[in-house]
């Protein structure tokens, strides 16, 4: 396989926030390397060889959370579903550090963490390898001129669709009405079917839902969550 030149990708959002606590620095130094699927890094995998998911998860089904924030939902799902392997992608290093602390406390061992752009992860995930994906309270980019930065655009949805199996489930949660609009326009175009049949299907959370701190903030501020479920065609 010939060496692949890394594509130019604009990154939108924060990489770091408040100063990390000493404990968070320790989590990053002691835990992150062992939990990261190293083949995502361009420096270690310039040819973009596919991840060996069997080696990572022992043949278990693979789930993916895109932008896991503080990691509470990711750890919740890992604890409930020991029979699956879950990869979380998040470029915000403070969120990564928070997740690592939660992993230690929960003692789950079926998680892997990509501390970077999900698009780099899509490069190395094998075709049709993901059976469930979560996009929960993504950055809304509310200004119209910034809507192209949202995840629900072809730049992100096309590679996501490639790595998801036929029949795989995509969950999207957001409290922004215009993000709902764009999601319902763009996700079906990428090869997904919206599964809602009645209002409760998007107004009520999933049975295994854990309300995140982002959702709690939205509720305090009077915004209404929407829970959208799609199936890969």
- pLDDT of 55-85, one tens digit each? 999 999 999 999 998 999 999 999 999 999 9
Residues labelled as active-site residues = 139
All residues at 6 or more sequence positions from 56 whose CB lies less than 8 Å from its CB, including other chains: 37, 85, 112
pLDDT of residue 5: 67
Per-residue pLDDT tens over the stretch 139-158: 987 888 878 889 999 999 99
Q: What integer pLDDT is reported at residue 1 of this predicted model?
A: 36
Residue among 64, 22, 33, 115 at smallest CA distance from 232: 64
- Name the pTM for this structure: 0.91
Q: Select from 75, 40, 79, 67 the least CA-distant residue to 56.
A: 40
Q: Collapsing DSSP states into helix, strand and coil, what is residue 228?
A: strand
Give me the domains of the chain, ranges plus CATH numbers: 22-232 (3.40.50.150)
Contact partners, residue 95, CB within 8 Å, separation at least 6:
68, 69, 70, 71
Separation CA 61–CA 179 (nearest Å): 29
Residue 172 — φ and ψ, nearest 5°?
-125, 125
Give the distance, in angstroms, between the CA of residue 116 and the centroid of all CA atoms in the same chain. Answer: 11
pLDDT of residue 2: 42
Give me the tens of pLDDT residue by residue for the chain, a chain 233 residues long.
344 667 655 655 555 566 788 878 888 889 899 999 878 888 788 888 899 999 999 999 999 999 998 999 999 999 999 999 999 999 888 989 999 999 999 999 999 999 998 999 999 999 999 999 999 999 987 888 878 889 999 999 999 999 999 999 999 999 999 999 999 999 999 999 999 999 999 999 999 999 998 999 999 999 999 999 999 99
Strand ranges, E, within 62-177: 62-66, 85-89, 111-114, 130-136, 164-174
C-alpha 218/C-alpha 205 separation (Å) is 14
């Amino acid at each position: 396989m010939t060496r692949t030149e890394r594509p130019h990708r604009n990154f939108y959002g924060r990489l770091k926030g408040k100063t990390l606590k000493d404990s968070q620095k320790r989590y990053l130094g002691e835990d992150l390397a062992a939990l990261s699927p190293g083949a995502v890094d361009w420096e270690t995998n310039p040819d973009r060889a596919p991840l060996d998911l069997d080696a990572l998860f022992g043949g278990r089904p693979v789930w993916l959370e895109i932008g896991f924030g503080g990691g509470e939902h990711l750890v919740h799902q890992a604890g409930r579903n020991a029979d699956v392997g879950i990869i979380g992608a998040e470029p915000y290093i403070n969120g990564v550090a928070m997740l690592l602390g939660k992993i230690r406390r929960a003692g789950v061992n079926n998680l892997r963490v990509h501390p970077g752009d999900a698009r780099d992860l899509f490069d190395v995930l094998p075709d049709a390898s993901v059976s469930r994906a979560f996009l929960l309270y993504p950055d809304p980019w509310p200004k119209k001129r910034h809507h192209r930065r949202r995840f629900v655009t072809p730049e992100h949805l096309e590679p996501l669709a490639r790595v998801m199996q036929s029949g795989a489930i995509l969950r999207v949660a957001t409290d922004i009405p215009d993000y709902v609009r764009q999601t319902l326009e763009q996700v079906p175009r990428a090869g997904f079917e919206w599964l809602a049949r009645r209002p409760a299907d998007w107004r009520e959370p999933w049975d295994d839902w854990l309300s995140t701190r982002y959702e709690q903030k939205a509720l305090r501020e009077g915004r209404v969550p929407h829970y959208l479920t799609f199936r890969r065609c």
